[in-house]
Amino acid sequence: MENNLIKVKIEDHVALITMDAAPVNAQSRAFVEELTAVFDELNETPGVRAIVLTGEGKCFSAGADIKSRGKIADGAPGDTYRHLRRTREIGFVIMEMNIPVIAAVNGPALGAGMGLAICADIIVCSTKAVFGLPEIDIGLMGGVRHTMRVFPIGLTRRMVLTGWRCPAEELWRRGLIEACVEPEELLPTAMEMAKTMASKSPKAIQLAKRALNTVETMGLKDGYRFEQNLTVEMTRHPHSKEAMAAFLEKRPAVFKDEL
């Protein structure tokens, strides 16, 4: 994978992805394409069992690169829709990963930057983090549907219609993020959580992610039936047998990365 704007470090089955496009990790075409490629490759990298996504510097991501965004409408025919597709798909790439993704939000997460965090499985924040949808102030739209998956309707409407930036402490107070810690504690907190996930069966994690992503939009009975079918699939896998044996023998389970 290329590491021009996106840095990757893999250790103890956890991949740390750091967005490194100074000064504010704005999402240009090159940025989005590289980030998408990184996630796609990690999705098929043996031994990677969890991912932490964070930003270099004081900002998680300030969203779209407005300077390059302004040129798209005046570009060649089809450029607008190619841009929309790239922007849309990076969120789904994160959501559809076979392995869990933790967003470690170190600073402002605005617009498309907030979208990256919301598409992760879990959000942990520094006390310096803020979330915002500033599109109303720069002649753009976007972010409503993804935000409503995680934030209440009233808060979403306030952010969309006023451009208000919500501090991480407020999200923590409302129970919408999993941690709000001092800046120096952010990565240790996220990595500890990721390492706990990485200690589980990779197959079980894969099926759990499939269940979480699928049943979210299903009715109760159909969703539960879907989960039960995944349970049957899991019990027939060697990882299930190893987990049960380890429990009975009072020892840590040992899982192979091959699924």
CA distances, 211 to each of 14, 40, 146, 216, 246 (Å): 22, 20, 19, 8, 25
Whether the pLDDT of residue 79 is over 60: the answer is yes
Q: What's the token pair of residue 203?
A: 């197959």
Give the per-residue pLDDT at 82.
85
Nearest to 5 by CA among 111, 132, 90: 90
Calpha distance 252→37 (Å, rounded): 34
**pTM of the prediction?**
0.93
* 52 DSSP β-pair partners: 16, 102
Q: Could you tell me the pLDDT band of residue 143, with boundaries at 50, 70 and 90?
A: confident
For residues 181-193, give the mean pLDDT. 98
Give the per-residue pLDDT at 259.
56
Q: Which of 27-41, 57-71, 125-139 has the lowest mean pLDDT?
A: 57-71
Give the per-residue pLDDT at 83.
79
Judging by beta carbons within 10 Å of its beta carbon (0-12, 13-18, 19+), is residue 90 exposed, middle or buried? Answer: buried
Whether the pLDDT of residue 99 is over 60: the answer is yes
Whether the pLDDT of residue 180 is over 90: the answer is yes
What is the bridge-based pairing of β-strands 101-105 and 130-132?
unpaired
What's the mean pLDDT when you consider all of the chain? Answer: 93
